[in-house]
Chains A and B, each alone.
Chain A
């Protein structure tokens, strides 16, 4: 991120002796984000050593990317809500309700009630569109009560948590809805729901070009406005690390091969044993969502307003920002993201169950907070929250790999949450 939060505005002289701090300063990287990357590396290497090389395999990392995606998608929206000094406790229940509706559309309503039959080419997109519209409507409803009604977000979304889940129990009656539309199921990933090696490398190429272009464009913009330029070596190192990270991730995805039995079922008995799986669809969705929300948060007026409101609500109001509309829109966005996550989760499970999304609100909030989002408002980054989701899922997946049972997992994840935020608070207080 070339325009990380906390960019120095005053001119800084070229440091003569390069301490770690001054190097980081010249690179203009978000130190909190960097800290998380380091923490993640420690967790990964730690699990890999403890599991005797079982964690850092292409298969496990690919699993991890898919398992993190649905929480990561919602965490991006949660950042904006927490940044504006609010909270959303209802995300898991909204996910449950939208997931139920999308599943019913493709398993019952479209094929049977309307008599159009199963697996129509338009079923998946229709179900997805209606689910997203429903998510937006629920978000707008809650957001309206919060922003215009002045009812605390905690209360409104706590109510939402109960209401939407209650609605799912009431209308779904404990039934599992399955199987889903075959095209829709591809949204959930698995080797069939992945894009293969060629498309993955195309994505990598686009991403690398994007990184280089962003760096160049940002440098030009600074030149035009006469801002302090980043040293050339810093520009190059940021660019190179970005490109290397992208290439490494795609290398991992394309070096996880189709499970032999599945390859034979799908491609016939003569299937090669090394067909690359590539990036999974849910991961692609997650990356797309991250890009879009980051763009909205940092480059659009709406996003800047959200941060302004979080920094100082009164000042934002006095500056002429329509704070109510902005707040309501954060909930609309959250509702849409819940529906997208619902699509990922139902597709992955190939069914909708009444417990879908239960307690996801806790994982989503934890991901945002581990990712550096502050409850005091105004602070938080989208990539940080995505990393936070990956950290949480790394802990869970790693412990499952080590056969640590669920009660101990909860204890570890809970402790890490408090420790991470505690450490962050101490560091922030010191640097302030």
Chain B
């Protein structure tokens, strides 16, 4: 008994030490086959590296390392990681990973750790796209190609794989304009500090929606505002004030994401306008998809994380044989906000409306009970 207790304490102490020592971060995927090796390697850092390399050599293909910025968020473990793993397994490659726990500093060390563990390609979900740049450049100079996963890294030699955020904004505007093509419009944008808020807004312009501060003969922008933290409660207050200022004469609302769309719909509902005024969103939130089935939200632009994971896994497998990022299939040049020309793969998001809700249902993204809660029978095809 006593021994077991001591052993438990020692184990806890070891975990705490490993977690605290910065350079050594345990792999988040304890269940993965390669995890045992990577945990062992992580807890003692470089000295254990050769054994990991040997293990990966035994696996046949090359080793691909993934540096997550914050594995605690549900999405990465649930959708992205399995897709990356599956794509690598199909190519006979090995997956290793570590977690920076939302620390840009830890992530810089983590990238180096992955390379010392034998990674031939590194995939980085950046905590901070600028802070990580020196580590990325150092990896590339060592001949290890880097994939900037989902978030931009301002490094011209990295391969940037993401969903096309400008296209998301375009799809949002297109779907709303298909319902109401003229009248008074409100635009509820995300956080000012987030470049995506402006990418999305630029996409709306591509769909023929007027730019900030401008109106056309048909479309009048009666309210446009950024929203601190993309906070739904703030969006609700914004919408209440826009409705008040315009005496409810608002014909459509372009909301940049689902959370804020929830606030907008709550404000509309208090005026009896929910379901009468088209509202856009993105992210594929369960609550938003339910709103689409109920008819209170018009469109939800869905970015299937599994497609992103698959694309990154396949690109990494190709980079194992040829480290030139421009030779990866499906790449195109991309000019970043920092005026760097990157090689990129931009995936196409999908607009989900009442008519194609079966897409998210068939993909297993949402359960039918959650999608169809409170929906009148026969009103939506996907709900039956």
Contacts and interface: CB of A to CB of B under 8 A. Distances in A.
A406 B262 contact: no
Interface stretch (B26-34, B154-162, B230-238): B230-238
A401 B228 contact: no
Nearest to A259: B271
Nearest to B192: A407
Contacts, number: 117
A170 B72 contact: yes
Given A59-B244, A264-B272, A406-B225, A176 B286 contact: yes
Interface stretch (A81-89, A219-227, A235-243, A347-355): A347-355
Interface string B227-263: 1111111101110111011001000000000110011
Contacts of B237: 67, 396-397, 400
Interface centre among A259, A349, A397 (most CB of B within 10 A): A349
Contact of A406 (B192, B258, B276): B192
Given A60-B244, A169-B72, A353 B262 contact: yes
B287 A262 contact: no
Contacts of A191: 270
B224 interface: yes
Interface string B123-140: 000000000000000000
B351 interface: no
Contacts of A348: 233, 236, 266
A55 B73 CA distance: 42
A113 B11 CA distance: 35
Contact of B233 (A59, A259, A261, A356): A356
A397 B225 CA distance: 13
A62 to B, nearest CB: 9
Contact of B229 (A57, A67, A355, A403): A355
A54 B75 contact: no
A405 interface: yes
Interface string B274-295: 0010000000011110100000
Contact of A265 (B228, B229, B245, B272): B272
Contact of B240 (A67, A345, A355, A356): A67
A431 interface: no
Nearest to B74: A173
A243 B248 CA distance: 33
A190 interface: yes
Contact of A259 (B225, B229, B248): B248
Contacts of B258: 176
Contacts of B271: 259, 261-262
B59 interface: no
Contacts of B234: 406
A355 B259 contact: yes
A260 interface: yes
B309 interface: no
Nearest to B73: A174
A298 to B, nearest CB: 32
A47 to B, nearest CB: 11
B226 interface: yes
A359 B227 CA distance: 13
Contacts of B287: 175-178, 351
Nearest to B223: A403
A410 interface: yes
B374 interface: yes
B229 A63 contact: no
B237 to A, nearest CB: 6
Contacts of A63: 240-241, 244
A265 B276 CA distance: 12
A2 interface: no
B270 A406 contact: no
Given A191-B270, A401-B244, A406 B72 contact: no
B205 interface: no
A358 B286 contact: no
Contacts of A176: 232, 258-259, 262, 285-288
A401 B272 contact: no
A85 B279 CA distance: 47
B233 A349 contact: yes
A51 interface: yes
A355 B238 contact: no
Contact of B245 (A54, A396, A406): A54
A406 B244 contact: no
Nearest to B370: A175
A190 B227 contact: no
Contacts of B219: none
B254 to A, nearest CB: 15
A199 to B, nearest CB: 19
B273 interface: yes
A350 B266 contact: yes
Given A179-B374, A396-B237, A405 B276 contact: no
A263 interface: yes
B262 A349 contact: yes
Contacts of B192: 405-407
A57 B238 CA distance: 17
B269 interface: yes
B226 A407 contact: yes
B244 A410 contact: no
Interface string B194-233: 0000000000000000000000000000011111111111
Interface centre among A57, A63, A345 (most CB of B within 10 A): A63
Contacts of B74: 173-175
B230 to A, nearest CB: 7
Contacts of B233: 345, 348-349, 353, 355-356
Contacts of A169: 72-73
Interface string A227-270: 00000000000000000000000000000000111111100000
A403 B224 contact: yes
Nearest to A404: B225
Contacts of B374: 179
A417 B288 CA distance: 37
Given A170-B72, A178-B262, 9 more contacts: A262-B270, A349-B236, A353-B233, A355-B259, A359-B229, A397-B237, A397-B241, A400-B242, A406-B225
7 contacts: A59-B244, A173-B74, A261-B272, A349-B236, A353-B233, A405-B226, A406-B234
Interface of B: 72-75, 192, 223-234, 236-238, 240-242, 244-245, 248, 258-259, 262-263, 266, 269-273, 276, 285-288, 290, 373-374
Q: 7 closest pairs, A vs B, by CB?
A: A262-B272, A261-B272, A400-B241, A173-B74, A176-B287, A190-B270, A259-B271
Interface of A: 51, 54, 57, 59-60, 63, 67, 169-170, 173-179, 189-191, 259-265, 345, 348-351, 353, 355-356, 358-359, 396-397, 400-401, 403, 405-407, 410
